[in-house]
Amino acid sequence: MPSIPHCLLSLALGFLGLLGIILLCATTRDMEQPPPHKYGIVIDAGSSRTTLYVYKWPAGKENDTGIVSEQITCNVRGPGISSYAANLSGAGKSLKDCLNKAVKAIPSDRHAETPLYLGATAGMRLLSQTDPKATKGVLDSIATTLRSYRFDYQGARILTGNEEGVLGWVTANYLQENFVKCGLFGRWINPVKNTVGAMDLGGASTQISFVPTDKEIEDPEKEVSLRLYGQDYKVYTHSYLCYGIDQVKKKVLAKITSGSGYVSEITNPCMPRGYSTNHTQEFIFGSWCTENERAQDYSPKQTITFRGSSDFETCYRIVSSIFSFSPCNYTSCSFNNVYQPEVTGDFLAFAAFYYTVDFLKVRLKRNITSPNELREASSFICKMSFSELKEKAPNVSETRLVNYCTASAYIHILTTDGYKFNNQTFKNIAFQKKVGGSTIGWALGYMLNLTNAIPAENPATWKVQMLGAWAVLIVICILVIAAGALLFALSYHSGKNDSVL
């Protein structure tokens, strides 16, 4: 029969073991429940449309940068904010529907600390060139609306081209998990991968950004240094104002119209046979990008009728004429005497790059894996009549449908003669809209950069609590081992005394 000391020791061991299990379970539960999330709102005010994004990330950050994910996306109704130059109050009002959705998506107790930021891109950069007063009025209207919400208003301003480009690069690499990824047991790790380049094509500008193999970037204005997730990066980036898809269309129309004496009807080789449309001279030459093409007898209200002829070769020559490929005052250039190092590595091409190439691949069933295949696809679509195009894509709007010829020819020239992709490097371009459910663009990159400036929420306290719990558990384990050793010693001596008797 066990002795009383043995019974008491067994009870003590059982108690200590149960306490250890309870503490271990509680500690494990604490590990699986990180601090509450924080939220941020970024409004991307592009030249042709505005989009609101709500992001969230853990309050405890990883290497000074939050693990940010896209929660909701809301497309603002109507055109880009630059179109409100004559209706300033309408700029702010246009954002309210999407802002109200953000109010519902974010917990109310987080509203006051949720940063709210609007960044305007090339559309507003163009407006600032022609009408600074209207530009200020649009931004003031937006600021008034944003301040009326309980969010932490951070400002509404126009991004520089380099900011837009490099933040798009940050987004592309973050979504590819080149900076950080989730490893074993939910820990975030830095995979130390090579980065991908980013190519963005909007309505008023286009950007290219990548980490070059060259040790030195010849033009310091095109170098941006970043630190994300404990790593340093030097990124080449450049934005080409007036080379977004909408402005390219106007530049092409200006080339076609120039020298015609502003006749009332002109053949447009980039439009399909059987289609015609009217444009005023103001629509064509009213942009800062085309005003230098105006003739002396410029008449803003005069209407010109353009009739399509489906002439690919002529269209291609006209689109090429909006570029200047010489001279180059650096060791290497893209176009318009802009320095660019040799493209290297993989690239993500998004926005209008994606929409145009996706149309060629899906609607026309064309492979796009080389420059030649892209040119052949462009030739194929440019030679089609309007009725043939409608048969291929009956659900696509006419305005968008008739511009695919210009867009595809432009993308071919831009990527090959402009950015200097060849048969080998072109294969490294992936034309994508999203990665893992998140949109590729500058907005997410901005939120990632912004989280560097937001302090983590009580991360030290959380870690101390965790360490304290584990310390107690270690002490209990030591006590259990010591008690076990004591029990063994008592049993040994008890057995020895029994044998003597």
Q: What is the pTM of this model?
A: 0.82
pLDDT recorded at residue 68:
84
Q: Hunting for tokens 């109507």 — which residue is that? A: 78
pLDDT per residue over 13-26, tens digit each?
Answer: 555 555 555 544 44
- Give percent of the chain above pLDDT 90: 69
pLDDT recorded at residue 335:
98
For residue 483, pLDDT beyond 50: yes
From the list 103, 107, 99, the residue with the least C-alpha distance to 142 is 99
State which amino acid sits at residue 385. S
For residue 236, pLDDT beyond 60: yes
What stretches of 122-161 adopt beta strand conformation (E)? 152-158
How many Å apart are CA 373 and CA 426, to the nearest integer?
A: 11
pLDDT recorded at residue 192:
62
CA angle in degrees (0–180, nearest 5) for 77-249-198 = 75
Assign 62 a pLDDT band (cuts: 50, 70, 90): low
How many Å apart are CA 36 and CA 7, to the nearest integer?
A: 46
pLDDT recorded at residue 297:
83
Catalytic residue among 62, 70, 163, 164: 164
Q: Taking all residues of the chain, what is their mean pLDDT, rounded to a whole number?
A: 86
Q: Residue 261, SS3?
A: coil
Q: Hunting for tokens 């304290």 — which residue is that? A: 468
pLDDT recorded at residue 37:
86
Q: Hunting for tokens 């073991």 — which residue is that? A: 17
Assign 458 a pLDDT band (cuts: 50, 70, 90): very low
Q: What is the mean pLDDT of residues 214-243?
A: 91
Sign of the dihedral defined by the CA atoms of residues 130, 200, 432, 411, in that order:
positive
Q: What is the mean pLDDT of residues 401-415?
A: 98
pLDDT per residue over 353-366, tens digit each?
Answer: 999 999 999 999 99
Q: What is the mean pLDDT of residues 274-296?
A: 94
pLDDT per residue over 128-187, tens digit each?
Answer: 999 999 999 999 999 999 999 999 999 999 999 999 999 999 999 999 988 876 654 445
Assign 467 a pLDDT band (cuts: 50, 70, 90): very low
The 10 Å Cβ neighbour count of residue 218 is 15
From the list 188, 187, 196, 203, the residue with the least C-alpha distance to 124 is 203
How many Å apart are CA 481 and CA 461, to the nearest integer?
A: 30
pLDDT per residue over 197-212, tens digit each?
Answer: 999 999 999 999 999 9
The 10 Å Cβ neighbour count of residue 198 is 28
For residue 321, pLDDT beyond 70: yes
pLDDT recorded at residue 461:
34
The 10 Å Cβ neighbour count of residue 373 is 16
pLDDT recorded at residue 462:
33
Whether residue 164 lies in the annotated active site: yes
Q: What is the mean pLDDT of residues 215-232?
A: 88
For residue 352, pLDDT beyond 70: yes
pLDDT recorded at residue 59:
77
